[in-house]
Structure 1
Amino acid sequence: MKNLYIVSYEPDGEGAPYFFDFKWIPELPEFHYPTENPESGELIAKYRAVADVPQLNADWLPDHFLASEKFLAICDFCECSYVSRPVEILIEGKLAPNKKYHFFAATERLRAMDLEKSSFVLDSNLKIEVTDSKNQNYERIDKLVISSGINSNFFYFEEIHEVVCSEQFLIECVNRQIYGLAFKKIDGDYRYAPWDDF
């Protein structure tokens, strides 16, 4: 079984800003990423965008669907599935000087939890009844065991609603000094409990 890691944006308030306004020109087509991928045919060949920040150096900004060419090179090296389009980013009226960016979304979506070996509570508050066990939603997962045969290096893990990566992908990010990312290993201490903070 592969080790998997949740990949998340790690802001530092400088080149990886905490919060900032970001305007796509033209607007991106609408899609709800937790349940669907953007349709490649609905994207135009190239975008522009305005970022209300003094600087931008992070290599992957998932909330804004942005990734640097450096990050895309790792995805290509690890044979990951994604959709991308080049973006010219304006910062304080000028083109972003440090990196070239792309619209980016991981397009491989997997249900990667071993149902027999994991321990979980199904979500009983769904508005729509789900009869297919492969499409269940989870209120919490107390023990998450990865299914055997999961060989992907970067994908959307549907049960926990997170983008995850393999150890190979993580090592490439470290070796190539990818900036603005954090990695959390899915191990025996991992718990999926999205409602615990409410």
Structure 2
Amino acid sequence: MKQKLYFIDYDDICQGCPTFTGGKFLKDGIWTGEHEWDFDDPNPEHYNITSTYSLKIDEKSINFDYSGHNYVSENFLKVLNACKVNYRAVPLEIFLSKNKHPEKKYYFLLLCGRFFLLDKAVSKYTVCKSPNNEKEYLYETYFPNEVCYDLIEEFYVKDDGNLPDFFVCAELKKDVCTEKFKKLCQSLNITRIKFTEISNGFRYDPWED
């Protein structure tokens, strides 16, 4: 791993950053968890999105730019634009307590592409097998040539000079960014984001999440 990479997580330690950033998601005014897209789809451009989406949060105010729940602020989108990250944004109207609106505008973030970071040559891992046939492996839905992992005991990141500055690590289903993106967020005062530098050899167990 030649360049520094960071996991990105929501940071709830400050005022205006509730521990839980979810709530009642509504589609066309109806409380539902359904969307016109799949968040895991690396090609969100092909969806015909015609509905309106809103979120009701029982908070007096919110002041974060990154929620950890697939929606971000307009300020966060500006950082993505500056770094030329490919994405699709779907407007999300947020209602706070007493039907007030937050000062910031928010959007569902649909990132284009997924990136595989695992260096299979040196990492230690166990591949998921089919429950119906132990001789068959399970593969990623949108990447039929990529296996799913039951456990990665030692995760080593392969060298890849073509990574965007913000992306989803396909093996971990986690948001990752570069040093450039991290510094730009800090310089533009993008709030409530926790950056954790990725070190080679870490353990990933999807069953612990």
* Alignment TM-score > 0.5, same fold: yes
In the alignment, structure 1 residue 11 sits paired with structure 2 residue 12: yes
CA distance in 2, matches of 1:101, 1:161: 22
Which residue number in structure 2 is paired with residue 85 of structure 1?
Answer: 90
CA distance in 2, matches of 1:127, 1:71: 44
Asked if 2 retains the 8 angstrom alpha-carbon contact of 1:45 and 1:85, the reply is no
Q: Deviations over 1:78-120 (max 9, x none)?
A: 1112111223222123442421111222222112222223232
TM-score normalised over the length of structure 2: 0.78
In the alignment, structure 1 residue 62 sits paired with structure 2 residue 68: yes
In the alignment, structure 1 residue 175 sits paired with structure 2 residue 187: yes
Q: 1:123 to 1:131 in 2, by over 3 A?
A: closer
Asked if 2 retains the 8 angstrom alpha-carbon contact of 1:45 and 1:86, the reply is no
Amino acid of the residue matched to residue 53 of structure 1?
A: E
CA distance in 1, matches of 2:8, 2:76: 13
In the alignment, structure 1 residue 109 sits paired with structure 2 residue 120: no
Which residue number in structure 1 is paired with residue 26 of structure 2?
Answer: 24
CA distance in 1, matches of 2:72, 2:177: 15
In the alignment, structure 1 residue 123 sits paired with structure 2 residue 124: no
- Work out which of the residue numbers 55, 59, 67 in structure 2 matches 1:53: 59
Asked if 1 retains the 8 angstrom alpha-carbon contact of 2:36 and 2:48, the reply is no
CA RMSD of aligned residues (A): 2.8
Q: Deviations over 1:141-177 (max 9, x none)?
A: 2132224233211111111221111111111111112
Q: Deviations over 1:17-40 (max 9, x none)?
A: 112523224255255534666565
Which residue number in structure 1 is paired with residue 174 of structure 2?
Answer: 162
Name stretches of at least 5 consecutive residues in structure 2 with no aligned partner.
Answer: none
Amino acid of the residue matched to residue 140 of structure 1?
A: L
CA distance in 2, matches of 1:4, 1:104: 20
Amino acid of the residue matched to residue 13 of structure 2?
A: D
TM-score normalised over the length of structure 1: 0.82
CA distance in 2, matches of 1:34, 1:12: 28
Superposition misfits of 4+ residues, deviation over 6 angstroms: none
Name stretches of at least 5 consecutive residues in structure 1 with no aligned partner.
Answer: none
Asked if 1 retains the 8 angstrom alpha-carbon contact of 2:23 and 2:55, the reply is no
